[in-house]
């Protein structure tokens, strides 16, 4: 297992680095000595983060603005990264969002765009980076899922199911890679203070206000698990307890409880 210090000089590609967990991944990985490639749509945010990081750490930071929900956008971006002579040692597939509301009320174009990002961009980046990592027999992939992945999530039906995809995909991949020095770890955060709820169009419920974690802690948990090459980690003891207790319930009960937690104010 590598420790924090041995990441020095590695290059990390972080998607969704313009806010929330992604920006925090950038801060913590830069503090470990990683060079960074930051991706998101809002270039001004990425540039501001770049300036902040360059002022604090002796690392290089590249900003690559892109809309990853566009078909094959990951492929175009990855080709540009390789053409610049860079290799990705750490891939953090963090970009993602949810849409709050009952499935029947969400227009298909919006939902399709979300799924392009939450599922297809994750898979495509993984496939591209993995091929190079396997050639070097070295690398880390960190997928950001959600505790919503562990049960049916009414009011976030498609988002929750997309995160289940990410969870199972990542855990299966970690097993396939067990004899290599490449690993895939899935981080499942619970409610975290980022722009997530605002983007999803949800006012925080009582449960969300009580359970809210801060990004630095969630990211620390994710990076620690990644360095240990664990298949999966749930952020925070209370969230882990909820995930564990869900396993003892019939899924229709879990769905009913999840619905209450997402709607009671
Ligand atoms: N916060 C939570 O409660 C929570 C809980 C469980 C899981 N998560 C997961 O954590 C991850 C990070 O979310 P967050 O909480 O940090 O939310 P956030 O603050 O809204 O950040 C989401 C990031 O994704 C980027 N993004 C969105 N659409 C994009 C697109 N089409 N192309 C490229 N980048 C795009 C955003 O940048 P631009 O808008 O600039 O493109 C932003 O940097 C997501 O995968 C989310 O599902 C969050």
Mean pLDDT by 10 residues, the chain (265 residues): 73 98 98 98 98 98 98 97 97 98 98 98 98 98 98 98 98 98 98 98 96 98 98 98 94 96 91
> Which atom of ligand 1 is found nearest the CA of 199?
20
Give the integer Cα–Cα distance in Å for 113 and 165. 16
Instruction: With H, G, I as helix, E, B as strand and everything else as coil, classify residue 257.
Output: helix
Give the integer Cα–Cα distance in Å for 111 and 99. 8
The one catalytic residue in 159, 179, 224, 259 is 159
Residue 127 appears among annotated catalytic residues: no
| Beta carbons within 10 angstroms of residue 43's beta carbon | 14
What is the pTM assigned to this prediction?
0.98
Structure letter (DSSP) for residue 76 = H
Q: Ligand 1 mean position to 135 CA, how many Å?
A: 30
Closest-CA residue to 150 (of 234, 262, 236, 217): 234
What pLDDT was estimated at residue 3? 57
Q: Which of 27, 40, 77, 232 to mutate to test the pocket of ligand 1 (most atoms within 8 A of CB)?
A: 40
What pLDDT was estimated at residue 46? 98
């Amino acid at each position: 297992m590598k420790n924090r210090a041995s990441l020095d000089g590695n290059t990390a590609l972080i998607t969704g680095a313009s806010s929330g967990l992604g920006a925090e991944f950038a801060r913590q990985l830069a503090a470990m000595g990683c060079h960074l490639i930051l991706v998101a749509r809002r270039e001004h945010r990425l540039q501001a983060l770049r300036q902040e990081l360059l002022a604090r750490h002796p690392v290089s930071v590249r900003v690559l603005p892109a809309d990853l929900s566009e078909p094959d956008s990951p492929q175009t971006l990855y080709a540009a990264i390789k053409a610049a002579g860079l290799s990705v040692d750490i891939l953090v597939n963090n970009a993602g969002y949810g849409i709050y509301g009952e499935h029947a009320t969400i227009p298909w174009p919006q939902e399709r765009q979300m799924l392009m990002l939450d599922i297809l961009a994750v898979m495509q980046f993984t496939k591209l980076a993995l091929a190079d990592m396997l050639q070097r027999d070295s690398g880390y992939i960190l997928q950001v899922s959600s505790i919503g992945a562990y049960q049916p999530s009414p009011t976030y039906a498609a988002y929750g199911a997309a995160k289940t995809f990410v969870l199972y995909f990542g855990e299966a991949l970690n097993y396939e890679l067990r004899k290599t020095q490449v690993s895939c770890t899935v981080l499942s955060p619970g409610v975290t203070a980022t722009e997530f709820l605002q983007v999803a169009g949800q006012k925080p419920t009582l449960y969300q206000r009580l359970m809210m974690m801060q990004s630095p802690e969630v990211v620390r948990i994710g990076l620690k698990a990644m360095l240990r090459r664990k298949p999966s980690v749930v952020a925070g003891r209370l969230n882990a307890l909820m995930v564990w207790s869900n396993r003892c319930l019939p899924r229709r009960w879990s769905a009913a409880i999840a619905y209450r937690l997402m709607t009671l104010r």
